[in-house]
Amino acid sequence: MTFLKQDSLHKQVAELLVVRASGHLYDSQREYPLWELSNDDLQACLGMGIGGVILFGGCTKELQHRCQTLREWAETPLLLCADIEEGVGQRFQGGTWLAPPMAVGRLYLQDPHNALLYAEQYGRCIGAQARRCGLNWVLAPVCDVNSNPSNPVINMRAWGEDPVAVSKLVCAFNKGVASEGVLTCAKHFPGHGDTAIDSHLQLPVVDHELARLELFEFLPFKAAISSGVSSVMTAHILLSKIDESYPATLSSKVLTKILREKIGFDGLLVTDALVMKAISDQFGSNEAALMAFEAGADLIMMPKDPLGAINAICEGLLSGRVPMQRLEEALSRREKALAKPKVLTNSSNFTLLIDNHASFESPEECAFSDDLLRRCIEIRNPSEIPHEQCGVNLLRFDGVFNSSFLSNTSPAICLPQKAGYEPVLCHKFGVSPWQDDDTEPLALERFGQGAFLLQLFLRGNPFQGSIDEKKRWLTVVKQLTRKDRLAGLIVYGSHYLWEELLQAMPSSIPTAYCPGQTPRAQSMVLSSLFSYLDFEKDCHLSTFVQFMD
Amino acid sequence: MTFLKQDSLHKQVAELLVVRASGHLYDSQREYPLWELSNDDLQACLGMGIGGVILFGGCTKELQHRCQTLREWAETPLLLCADIEEGVGQRFQGGTWLAPPMAVGRLYLQDPHNALLYAEQYGRCIGAQARRCGLNWVLAPVCDVNSNPSNPVINMRAWGEDPVAVSKLVCAFNKGVASEGVLTCAKHFPGHGDTAIDSHLQLPVVDHELARLELFEFLPFKAAISSGVSSVMTAHILLSKIDESYPATLSSKVLTKILREKIGFDGLLVTDALVMKAISDQFGSNEAALMAFEAGADLIMMPKDPLGAINAICEGLLSGRVPMQRLEEALSRREKALAKPKVLTNSSNFTLLIDNHASFESPEECAFSDDLLRRCIEIRNPSEIPHEQCGVNLLRFDGVFNSSFLSNTSPAICLPQKAGYEPVLCHKFGVSPWQDDDTEPLALERFGQGAFLLQLFLRGNPFQGSIDEKKRWLTVVKQLTRKDRLAGLIVYGSHYLWEELLQAMPSSIPTAYCPGQTPRAQSMVLSSLFSYLDFEKDCHLSTFVQFMD
C-alpha cells in the first residue's frame, strides 16, 4: 500500500461522509458552534474530499451564498442536504413552512384523492425551493407510520397512522420533489413510528416480529423505493426480534439482509446522525461509522469526528474487516444519484441572482400553503371569544428561543391582547405555573383575574424528553371550566392532544385546532375566533419591544 | 403651476424623506410589517424620488443585497442609514455589537487618554462595517449627557454623565466613523439626557433655562458640530422655558433660532422618527412633517404616511406657508453631505462580493470588541460560584423574543447549568415570580430548593415604560441574603443598578458587572465566576432544544 494509494483511499472514503454546517455565513453566527463546523474546518474537510454537507439555520439568501461557497471549496460534486420535511422555511428563514405531513394524512381520511394531490404539491414546493437555495437533496419523506400516539420523535412528522395511506402519500410527495430534480430520502428504516422513546436521548427498542414489520412498517418504504426514492435513512432503534445486539443503523441483518437483499433496495443508504445519543453513547462515533459502513450503509451522516470516522473506515478496509467492494458500491451509488437528470452538481448549473423579488416563495407556493392550512384547521363552537377586562392569554411552548414562529408580532400573542388577553408564556425555563394539587394544577394566583384563553403549541418534538403533558392540560381545562374561567382553547400541533381536550370542553366554549404553528397558521385560526378585531391594523403589540431611536 | 413643475416639486420634496424598511430581503421576513414598507411600496417610494431609507433587522449579507437593490430602485443617490450606535451587530446579525458607549464613558473617568482612543476605534469599527454592508450614514453619536440616572431611553447609550467628557468622546467617535467615509449624526438635539419619560410613549418636558442648556446639554452638540458631524437629529421633547407650544422637533425657536442661528450649524438637520407617539399622537404625522420642515428640519424621518407627508410639505410650499428657500437649502445640504469624499452613493462604488471569509468582522474588530469588554467588566469578590445541587439561575430580561443575545446556547443560560443552576427566565410576559410582600417579593416556592444565581439583564431601554425595577431587585438581594440563598449576582447593562445592588451585597458573595449583554460578554464574565468549568466543552445546553432527524 503506497502513500499515494492510501491518500486516494482516504479521499474515496471521505466522499461518503456528510458533515454538519450552519446555513449562516459566518462562524460567529452559528447557533450550535459545538456541532457545526467552523468555516476553516469546513473548507479543510471539503478540501480533503468530504462529499456531503447537511445545513441548518440562516435565511434562504445566506443559504444560496453558502451552497455556492461550499461547491467552490469542494473537491468533488457535493450532496447538499437539509432536514426540510415541512418546507425550506422549517430551517431557513424566508422559505415556506407548510403544515406538517400529518395534516395531509388527516385530510386523506376524508378526501384521499385531493390529499394525494396535496402531497405531490407539498413535495414540489419543497423541491423547487430547495433547488432555488442550491440544495440537491431533501431528507424526506418520513416513511414511519405513527402507530404510537405517544411517539415523541415522529408524531406529526409522519404522513399518517395507516401504512397503506402513508405509502400512497409518500409516493406522491416523492414524485413532487423528484419532479424538481432534487434527490429524496425515505426515513427512518425499518420504521420509527411505534416507539415511545426519543432516539436523540436513548435507544428505543421495537419488539415486532419480521412478519409484522413486513405487513406494516415496511410498506411505505417499499412503496417509496418502487416509486424511485433516491435514498433511505436508517433508524437508531433496536429491533429485538431481528438483531438483539445492534441498532438498525449498525445492523447488517437489517440493512443488508433485509433492506438490500429481501426488499431489493439498490439506492443510497445513509445513516441517521451518528452524534445522536442512542449511538454515540454506546459505540463511540468512529467505531459506529465503521460498523454502519460494514453493515451496509453507503453514507455516514454527522459523525462526531469526521477525520476519525474516515480513518476508522480506511483501517477497516485495509485490514480486510470490510471488503473493498463495499467502498466501490457505495461510491458508485453516490455517483449514480448525482448523475440523475437535472440534479445540481456544481456552481455552473446554479446562478446566484441578485434578485429583486418581494418574496422567495412563488405566489403559487404561498397559495398552496394557505390552502393546506385552511383545509386542516378545525373550529368547534365557532362563536367569538369575547372581549375581556383582565384576560389571561396563556401560551404553552416547548421553548422561547430560536423559534421561527414566535416573536413580538406573532398573532397568537398580539391579537388576543387587543381583546384584553395579556400574554403569559409557559415553557420549561419559565417561572412555574404549577402547584402541587392533582385537580387544581394551575396556580391561579400567579395570573390575572380574568378569563383564560389557552393556546397550546405542542407536538411530539425531538429532544424534549417524553413528558406527557396531555393529562396535565386536560386537568387544567377541567379546572378552568369548573371555575368558569375558560374563554377559549386553541391547540397548535398535536391532534392527539386536541382530541383528548375536546372531550372535556363544554360545547359553549370556542375551541380550535391547527396542525401548523407558524404566524400564518396562528393568524388564520385567530381570525375565526376574534373576527371583530381589525386584523391588518391590530396585528402588533401595543407595548412594542422595539428599539427606534 | 404646470403639472410638470408640480411633479418635479414632489420629487424634490420626496428626496427629503427617510422611510423605514426591513434589512431582510423578503416581505414575509419583516419583523414589524406595520412599520416596514413592503418591497412593492418601497420600490414605488424610491421610484418617486424618496431619498433615504433606514434599515432594521436581517444579517449583514442580506443587508448588502438590500442596499444594492435599493440603490437600483432609486431615482437619486440614496442616504442609507441605520441605528447602529453600538455596532452593526446591534441591528444586523454577523456584525460586531460593542459594549455600550457608557462603558467607554466610565473608562474615561479613570483613563481619559485611552478612553478617547477607544471612542475613535469604536467609531472606526462601526463606520467600516456599515460601509461593508452598503450603508453610508450612521445614526450616531448620541450626544445626550445622561444626567438623569432614571432616563429610560438614553441611559447606557450616552457617552457619559459629564458634558465635557461626552464632548471629547463624541468627537473622537465622529472622527472614527468619518475616517471610513461614512456620514454621522449627533442626536438628540437639544439634549435628551435629563428626561425620565420615554418619548416613544409620551412627550417628555424639560424645564431648563437656555443658560443651563448652553452650559450643559449643548456642549457635546457644539463639539460634534465643530469636529464636522454630518447631521444633527432632533429630540421629541418639550423645552418649556424656550417653546412651550411645540416639541423641539417642531419648534423653529429650537431648530432655527438656536441650532442654526445661535450655534451656527449648517449641516443636515433630521427629525427623530415621526411615528413616535410623542409627536404622532398630538399633531398627526403629515402635519408634523410639514411643521418640522417649516421649523428648520431638512430631512423627515419615518413619517407614518410618506405620500401624505410629501403632499403636506408640497402644499405648504405652494401656499407660501413655507418659503421655497427652505426646500433649496435642505436639498443643497443633502447634496453636499453625499458629495463628501469616499461616501457611497451608488452601486458602482460598492461591489457585492461572494466572499468566503469565515467572519464579517475583521480580526482587529473582534480584538477591539473583546478588549473593550475586558476593560469594562468589574468583578467584586472574585471567588468562584460553587457547584450546587438544585441551584436556580434566575435570569431577568426585558423580553425573550427577537433577542440577539439570547438563545439556547447563550453562556448565561448554559454555563451555570453545568454547575447545577437550572435556568428560570423572568420577563414581563412570563408567569409572575412575585408575591405581595414588601420585604419578601420573590415567591420562593415557585423555584427550586437550592441557592440562586441572579443574572439581571437590565438597562434603560426604550419602549419598556418607566418601571423602576431597581428597588425591587435590591429587596430580592436582601431577601435571598437573609435566607442564605444567594450564590452570586451578575448585572449586565445598567451601572446604576449595579452600584445600588453592590451596596447590599455581602462581601463573601461573588458579584460582577458587565455593561455589555452579548453572548461574548456573558462568556467573559462567567469564565471568571465559574473558572472550574470547561468552557469550550460545556458551552451548550444538556437538554438541547434542537431538531435533528
Task: Please give the full DSSP string across B39-84, using - where no structure is assigned.
Answer: HHHHHHHHHTT--EEEEESSBHHHHHHHHHHHHHH-SS--EEEE--
- Per-position pLDDT tens, chain B of length 549: 333 455 799 999 999 999 999 999 999 888 888 889 999 999 999 999 999 999 999 999 999 999 999 999 998 899 999 999 999 999 999 999 999 999 999 999 999 999 999 999 999 999 999 999 999 999 999 999 999 988 888 999 999 999 999 999 999 999 999 999 999 999 999 999 998 877 777 889 999 999 999 999 999 999 999 999 999 999 999 999 999 999 999 999 999 999 999 999 999 999 999 987 778 788 888 999 999 999 999 999 999 999 999 999 999 999 999 999 999 999 999 999 999 989 998 766 555 554 556 789 999 999 999 999 999 999 987 788 999 999 999 999 988 877 778 888 899 999 999 999 999 999 889 999 999 999 999 999 999 899 999 999 998 755 454 446 888 999 999 999 999 999 999 999 999 999 999 999 999 999 999 999 999 999 999 999 998 887 655 443 333 333 333
The pTM score is 0.92
Instruction: Indicate yes or no: CB of A399 within 8 angstroms of CB of B28.
Output: no
Burial of B502 (0-12, 13-18, 19+ CB in 10 A): middle
- Collect all residues of chain B within an 8 Å Cβ-Cβ radius of residue A31: 407-409
Question: Got the DSSP string for B282-323?
Answer: HH-HHHHHHHHHHHT-SBEE--SSHHHHHHHHHHHHHTTSS-
- Name the residue in chain A with its Cα closest to that of B142: A549
- Name the residue in chain A with its Cα closest to that of B198: A549
Distance from CA of B201 to the nearest CA of A (A): 9
Instruction: Indicate yes or no: CB of B93 within 8 angstroms of CB of A65.
Output: no
**Structural domains of chain B sorted by starting position, each given as residue range(s) with its CATH number in brackets:** 14-349 (3.20.20.300), 377-538 (3.40.50.10870)
Q: What is the CA radius of gyration of chain A?
A: 24
Peptide bond into B427 cis (omega under 30): no
Instruction: Indicate yes or no: CB of B549 within 8 angstroms of CB of A462.
Output: yes
Which residues of A12-159 form beta strands (DSSP E)? 17-22, 52-56, 79-82, 137-138
Place of cell 461626552: B166
Helix crossing, B363-376 with B112-133: angle to 10°? 140
Distance CA B67, CA B59 (A): 12
DSSP 8-state assignment for residue B471: H
Q: Which three cell numbers stand for residue A111?
A: 378526501
The residue from B200, B208, B236, B495 that is catalytic is B200
- Name the residue in chain A with its Cα closest to that of B427: A430
- Collect all residues of chain B within an 8 Å Cβ-Cβ radius of residue A413: 429
Distance CA A30, CA A57 (A): 8
For residue A401, give the nearest of B408, B430, B548 by CB distance: B408
Helix crossing, B363-376 with B101-110: angle to 10°? 60
Active site residue B236: no
Q: Which strand (E) or helix (H) includes residue A488?
A: strand A486-493
- Collect all residues of chain A within an 8 Å Cβ-Cβ radius of residue B302: 548
Sign of CA dihedral A42, A46, A48, A50: positive
What's the Cα-to-Cα distance from B195 to each of A544, A549, B186, B239, B501, rounded to whole Å? 20, 15, 18, 11, 23
Question: Got the DSSP string for B70-82?
Answer: HHHH-SS--EEEE
Interface test with A, best of B185, B400, B549 (most A CBs within 10 A): B549
A83 SS3 class: coil
A217 SS3 class: coil
DSSP 8-state assignment for residue A375: H
- Per-position pLDDT tens, chain A of length 549: 333 455 799 999 999 999 999 999 998 888 888 889 999 999 999 999 999 999 999 999 999 999 999 999 998 899 999 999 999 999 999 999 999 999 999 999 999 999 999 999 999 999 999 999 999 999 999 999 999 988 888 999 999 999 999 999 999 999 999 999 999 999 999 999 998 877 777 889 999 999 999 999 999 999 999 999 999 999 999 999 999 999 999 999 999 999 999 999 999 999 999 987 778 788 888 999 999 999 999 999 999 999 999 999 999 999 999 999 999 999 999 999 999 989 998 765 555 554 556 789 999 999 999 999 999 999 987 788 999 999 999 999 988 877 778 888 899 999 999 999 999 999 889 999 999 999 999 999 999 899 999 999 998 755 454 446 888 999 999 999 999 999 999 999 999 999 999 999 999 999 999 999 999 999 999 999 998 887 655 443 333 333 333
Q: Which three cell numbers stand for residue B442?
A: 420573590
- Collect all residues of chain B within an 8 Å Cβ-Cβ radius of residue A25: 59, 61, 94, 360
Q: Where are the alpha helices (DSSP H) in A111-256?
A: 112-133, 163-178, 210-215, 218-226, 252
Contact A422, A393 (CB under 8 A): yes
- Collect all residues of chain A within an 8 Å Cβ-Cβ radius of residue B413: 429
Contact A418, A539 (CB under 8 A): no
Instruction: Indicate yes or no: CB of B547 within 8 angstroms of CB of A461.
Output: yes
Q: Counting every residue, how long is chain B?
A: 549
